[in-house]
Structure 1
């Protein structure tokens, strides 16, 4: 019998199975609800929603200073609690700052993004950043404790709240308000679940010590610096089409792009997020045991993702020939073309994104940041140079595909050097 660890027959595989089980439910629910939502709301409404969501998600990548990502690293509970407190403090400070900025400059911000009619949503973005940031912290607490069953429940609850809320409120008043309320309520529910299930947890008094807090802020300084910059730029790059398309082609174009992106991301959510959440924890454990085990984990996970990408590719090629408008309604004619234009980049993302956090584990985040900066400029230039919506998306998809392939190759090189004891 081979001495090679059977990673996908271990608890790693079982925990991925738990999250994928909930992901399948979420995917089925989304597939059932999307044709209803697409017939209730106009492309312009969903495009405006996506623009606000993109603002929230880009800024929320800054809101916790990424300190919640370090929650999986300490081996002692009190150290995890210190990082938890630092994350909450960072979230409070950033929310106050975002609220001040949006209150003072709301007219300019909403006019810049062609949303002057929604200037009364001035506090939606700062509040959304707080809710999403708090949800990120609580989710990482569950990851750190290995509570994957609870993560599955959270995923299902969040999807139910968002989809059912959008349909229920939309039948009464089909507006942007109905959509944004449903979206934010889904994150609030996750936060409520965390505090209800952890209300008996007590934090030691020494964790609140200013000296101790500062000490751990310095110890994990790469998270509020390198990781923070990398996460912000990565999110900005991912949501850049929304911002650029809204300026160049209007909210209807954003709505079409959003719908295509949502359809492509739906099956990815079954796999990518499930593997990513489990992989981070197991990668950290493998790193502490030695480079060989981490390389084995990476290669095994990559192989599974490559296998999964094959049916993913063929499903959407088939959907192109069937015609998406049969599912979504007549208002969405042309979405199937955008799906094909984005498909290459989505396959590259599926294969790379769940295991790209390996750079964090081996403490080489600065290299990821370097590549993000280069491709951020390239993606923006290509989007702006597109003379039509389809050309802009083709150029963006090509640059995105190359970005993920470069990241994957670089991670493998780093792991090879690490496994033989070379410290770069």
Structure 2
């Protein structure tokens, strides 16, 4: 009887493995969120969102985007040398950031307009290093289909985050616990995944300077075409947490941060798991010269069926649930979540399949879309700032713009796969 409910395809089994870990990992912050919102203020969450935004932006380019190439070589020997190249680049970028923070801390603090972030700027280099290391570890473990280890690392990361944020939050006021938890959780997740590589002494012995240089040149299109575009993409996603404090205030940014965090939970829970397995499957299709259009259609259909009821539920009930669960101080977050649920629908469908452009090396097209998205977002935030939009007007326009750019993105992906999807 139990066997009837077990997933039959390898794709479904792998998705389920990752989803199981992500479900447990996401259940932990959900469980502690009502406590966090009572020991930390919206202003604390605003400063935390600013720190996360900065490290996410810099972390996205910490490997020079070579982590994306780890999945592509047929031989693991080449993949481990690409891993080594990504690690070297991460160390170099982190060192440069440390020097910049030490020399220009006051200037960066003034530019960001928040004195409380000054001390935590010194921790940005090490956080970026951990993010960069996690990126290459994640892709290498994905290549080796170590889905159980990826699941366990995700759970460990969430556990450490919860323990640190709660422990420090009860001891002292301020943003310290939120940021400390973020840093330490990344460190422990890396240790977990790093063991899979360190135990393979034979594979590590294959790392050589000559191969690193050769593979760096072979896959140079990734930093050449994807580095700036990826930076543009993550900058676009993090712009709200950098610019909302200037348009409104740090408190509104904290409300937006909580709403966005909870809206993103289904994506972390389901879409990211589907995306990782989709990446592996479509990479195999290309290596074997197999048509990927059926896989793309099936994945889009599954994503839509999952996302629609979630979006409707959040839109209807978010304003009430936020006040009940997180307290009256967080009612604004519930109103913001109502609008973000609409954006969630289209992003949930498009984001997981966007990796198709990387697999088929259509990096120029991907870059152009990301540049357009960034410029559109900058124009929108600039207009919102100078025209002094109220929060409702801001959110309505934000939804409209998001749908336009993501529907264009979906059209591009479908056209490319239908044209060269083998």
How far the C-alpha of 1:321 sits from its partner, in A, is 5.4
Give matches, 1:290-301, under 5 Å: 290-292=289-291, 294-301=292-299
Q: 1:285 — aligned with what?
A: 284
Alignment of 1:15-414 (within 5 A): 15-202=14-201, 203=203, 205=205, 207-209=207-209, 211-292=210-291, 294-320=292-318, 322-386=320-384, 387-414=389-416
Work out the CA distance in 2 between the residues paired with 1:172 and 1:68.
39
The answer to whether the Cα contact below 8 Å between 2:58 and 2:128 also exists between their aligned partners in 1 is: yes
Task: Give deviations 1:3-52, integer Å, cap 9, x for gaps.
Answer: xxxxx842011100111112222232222111111111000001100101
Task: Give, in whole Å, the separation in 2 of the partners of 1:195 and 1:317.
Answer: 40
CA contact (8 A) 1:385 1:392 kept: no
- 1:207/1:27 Cα in 2 relative to 1: closer, same or farther (>3 Å)? closer
- The answer (yes or no) to whether the contact 2:316–2:338 under 8 Å persists in 1 is no
Shift of 1:207: 2.7
Measured after TM superposition, the shift of residue 308 of structure 1 is 0.3
Alignment partners' CA distance in 2, 1:38 and 1:196: 35
Determine the C-alpha separation between the residues in 1 that align with 2:138 and 2:328. Answer: 38
- Shift in alpha-carbon separation, 1:220–1:325, aligned structure 2, 3 A: same
1:106-132 Cα distance to aligned partner (Å, 9 max, x none): 111111111223322231111110111
**Does 86-95 or 226-235 show the bigger shift?**
226-235
Distance in structure 1 (CA, Å) of the matches to 2:319 and 2:55 = 35
Q: Which moved more, 1:320-329 or 1:279-288?
A: 320-329
Which consecutive residues of structure 2, in runs of 5 or more, have no partner in the other structure? 1-6
Q: Distance in 2 between matches of 1:198 and 1:217?
A: 20
Mapped partners of 2:249, 2:85: distance in 1: 40
Q: How far apart, CA to CA, are the structure 1 residues paired with 2:238 and 2:399?
A: 13
Does structure 2 conserve the Cα–Cα contact (< 8 Å) formed by 1:34 and 1:328?
Answer: yes
Aligned length: 411
Separation in 2, partners of 1:30, 1:177: 17
Root-mean-square deviation over aligned CA pairs: 1.6
Q: Deviations over 1:80-111 (max 9, x none)?
A: 11101100111011111111122221111111
Contact 1:291 1:415 in 2 (8 A): no
- 1:283–1:361 contact (8 Å) kept in structure 2: yes
TM-superposition CA deviations, 1:263-297 (whole Å, max 9, x none):
101122111111111111111001122252x1111
Which residue number in structure 2 is paired with residue 5 of structure 1?
A: none
Give 2:4's aligned residue. none
Q: Is the 8 A contact 1:82 1:208 kept in 2?
A: yes
Q: TM-score, normalised by structure 1?
A: 0.93
Task: Give the gaps of 5 or more residues in structure 1.
Answer: 1-7
Q: Aligned equivalents of 1:117 and 1:320: distance in 2?
A: 31
Measured against aligned partners, the alpha-carbon deviations of 1:383-419 in whole angstroms (never above 9, x if no partner) come to: 2222223322322222122221111111111111114
